[in-house]
Amino acid sequence: MQRNYSEHTIRAYATTLDQLLDFAKNQAKVKLNKVAFESLTADIVRKYLDFCEKERGCAISTRNHRLKCIKAFYKYAASRDIALVAFQKLISAIRDKKSVKEDTVDYISESAIKTVLSTPGTNRRGVRDRFLLILMYDAAARIQEILDLKVCDIKYGTLPTVTLCGKGGKTRTVPITEETYKHFEYYLTLYHPGVDKYSSTPLFYTIQNKTQHKMSADNVRKFLSRYAEQAKAVCPDVPDNLHCHQFRHSRAMHLYQHGMDLSIISQWLGHSQIETTLVYARADTEMKRKAIASATTHSNPLADKAANAQRFIVDDDDTLRALVGLKR
């Protein structure tokens, strides 16, 4: 709070420490109150980072951010207790993992999305889970943006919209389909009976000790993992370790493939710079290149060239904008 960080940043630090403590507790097979700095060794931190990447499906950038949070915590702890300086030095020696920047987008097919969205049951909890996943996909929203929603953030004017609060406290309003709005209305009858649509009550919640609490991202990850496993038995396109952010990438990619202009997609996603959104154009171009290569038969004289030709790389900003229709 003293450094005036956003609520999202504070939550990210808290989530990291909470996960690290849980991981250390499980590794040592002790209760949480037995976890001390002696338990949080550099080796445990490295194992935790590997766990985030391999088991939780986190990107390398997320892994590195988790490490940044842990280092910040140890730096603070060492400043309060000189006896912890040695621990801080060992943690500070852990390096970020180098990532290879590629023109790829972690998205899934429309058929896979439809299969996952149709998996939750028709009981009360199934209705909640389906609506949350449908809304997350339809709005191309980050999971935390969905969990921060209040009932009043979904409105019906000339068309249904949802207002999202993204990174840096920036808000954006995006359209949702009529079908999604119908799911919203039905969800309200089950989870917010008697509450009007102007209420500032958290839209998604869980009940603990007879008290409503805003739903956590971990809760969503757990039921998404369960539905993904069921959906994969029906549709092989559903990936292993399906995660929430793939809904956002998938929606953006599907919109682009259906002809939506990248400048509109950029606003839809809340990107501060359109260059961030260009990855969808580059990924789609690469996908088409591979499709052409795979469709070229071995007997075709162009087969060798199609399969082995070097990629034409455009690194000039103006040329790239012209290629994707953004040249001004």
Q: Among residues of the chain, what percentage have pLDDT more than 70? A: 81
Judged against a pLDDT cut of 80, whether residue 52 lies above it is answered with yes
Q: Which residues contact 254 (CB under 8 A, 6 or more apart)?
A: 107, 110, 113
User: What is the residue extent of each domain of the chain?
Assistant: 7-92, 110-258, 263-323
CATH architecture of the domain with range 110-258? Orthogonal Bundle (1.10)
Q: What angle do CA 249, 253, 259 make, to 5 degrees?
A: 150
CB 123 within 8 A of CB 113: no
138, 176 contact by CB (below 8 A): yes
Query: What whole-number distance in Å separates Cα of residue 162 and Cα of residue 152?
Result: 9
Residue 41: pLDDT band (50, 70, 90) is: confident
C-beta atoms surrounding 170 within 10 Å: 10
State the pTM of this model: 0.66
Q: Predicted confidence band at 324 (pLDDT cuts at 50, 70, 90)?
A: very low
